[in-house]
Structure formats: C-alpha cells, structure tokens
Chains A and B, each alone.
Chain A
Amino acid sequence: QQQVKQSPQSLIVQKGGISIINCAYENTAFDYFPWYQQFPGKGPALLIAIRPDVSEKKEGRFTISFNKSAKQFSLHIMDSQPGDSATYFCAARSLQGAQKLVFGQGTRLTINP
C-alpha cells in the first residue's frame, strides 16, 4: 500500500494555541517522513522531516512525533501564529526501490488572531 492518510482536512486554531495534524501510513517500507508547508500560489516547501529511528524531532516551534508501531506520525505547531496559516502535507518515502514521495491529502490550517 502506498497510501498516506491525513487528518483533519481543515483546522482552525487561536493565536498562541497548539496545532496538531495527524498522518497514518500502511507501507512498512517507508523510512522517511517529511512535512511540507504550502501557501496559496506557491509550491510546497519542506518544513521538517523525521526518520523512524527517532520518536520525536523538534525544530523551533515545529515538532514531529513518530509512533512506528502504530504507523502514525504527527506535526505539532506550538504557539501558532497567523503567519502559519497555510496548507500542510505529510508525506512518506522509502529510501530503497522506487523512492517515490507519497503525499497525504493536506490540512488547511487557519490561525485566528
């Protein structure tokens, strides 16, 4: 299975709150899990990524939590700001074989001031 399932489809958070977006995958061959941020009229841009040998990675206000046994990973945005309003995509890729990047369906995040 190549599918990556992402939820929720849309999310509204107050400024200063925590935004949480979840993803689940089925292919146990996936071994690289990036998150992309996309603003309207722009292409996706890599935000943060994790490999399954660690359970958490933090970069500034952005944290990925990874649960290998559950085949789930999530993005946490702490102290959410209006400038974080964008669409977020999780993705997964195997670093072997075809190495194809498979994207989730996206989450439209709105941070209210």
Chain B
Amino acid sequence: EAGVVQSPRYKIIEKKQPVAFWCNPISGHNTLYWYLQNLGQGPELLIRYENEEAVDDSQLPKDRFSAERLKGVDSTLKIQPAELGDSAVYLCASSLLAPGDEQFFGPGTRLTVL
C-alpha cells in the first residue's frame, strides 16, 4: 500500500512569491495533518483536518498561509507571499480516524525562500 505522497519534494522560490504544496494521504485515512519542521527541530502542527473540516488550525499563520482539503482526500497548503523565514520542510501526515491513531508521515517538501 502506498504511503503518504507529497509533491513537490523540493521547491526554491524568491521571497514574496506564492507557493503551494500537495499531499495525498493513505487511502481510507480520514484525518490529515500539515506540519512545519524547521532545521534541527521537531515537527510543529499547522493544521489538522477530519475529512473536509479543519478542526485545529490554531497554529496556522492565517495572514499568509491557507489550506484546503476538498472532498476530504488530498490537500493543498499554500503560502502567499512567502518570506525568508518560511524556509523549512513541510510535512503531511495522515491517520485512520482519530488523532489517537498512529500518524503516518510523508517525505515532506523542502522549501527554500531566497
């Protein structure tokens, strides 16, 4: 069975440009997460979806970040405009149903903002 798929794997952009990341969770997983991982740090939750509903977006910087999960399957995370400090790895994870279930992580998208 395929794991969590993310694309692109790497992205380099100029500051103030927009960027989007895509995630396809494991089939049948209703809960989807986006995490931010700065270099040398642990992942930090940005947003959690249960099906189509964003149930925890308290850590998402809503002035420049947005996310959607149409149809409750794949998801897109967008940054507009990007800032130098946004350079990091953006991880997507999914779990079967509840947050108490094991989370499976994708390989991440490494973003570099110049």
A contact residues vs B (CB 8 Å cutoff) = 6, 9, 32, 41-46, 89, 91, 93, 95, 98-101, 103-106
Contacts and interface: CB of A to CB of B under 8 A. Distances in A.
Contact of B91 (A32, A43, A91, A95): A43
Contact of A101 (B40, B41, B98, B103): B103
Nearest to B41: A105
A46 B103 contact: yes
19 contacts: A9-B40, A32-B100, A42-B108, A43-B91, A43-B106, A43-B108, A44-B105, A45-B104, A45-B105, A46-B104, A95-B100, A98-B56, A99-B100, A100-B99, A101-B103, A104-B42, A105-B40, A105-B41, A106-B41
A103 B100 contact: no
Contacts of B45: 100-101
3 nearest CB pairs, A to B: A103-B42, A43-B105, A99-B99
B102 interface: yes
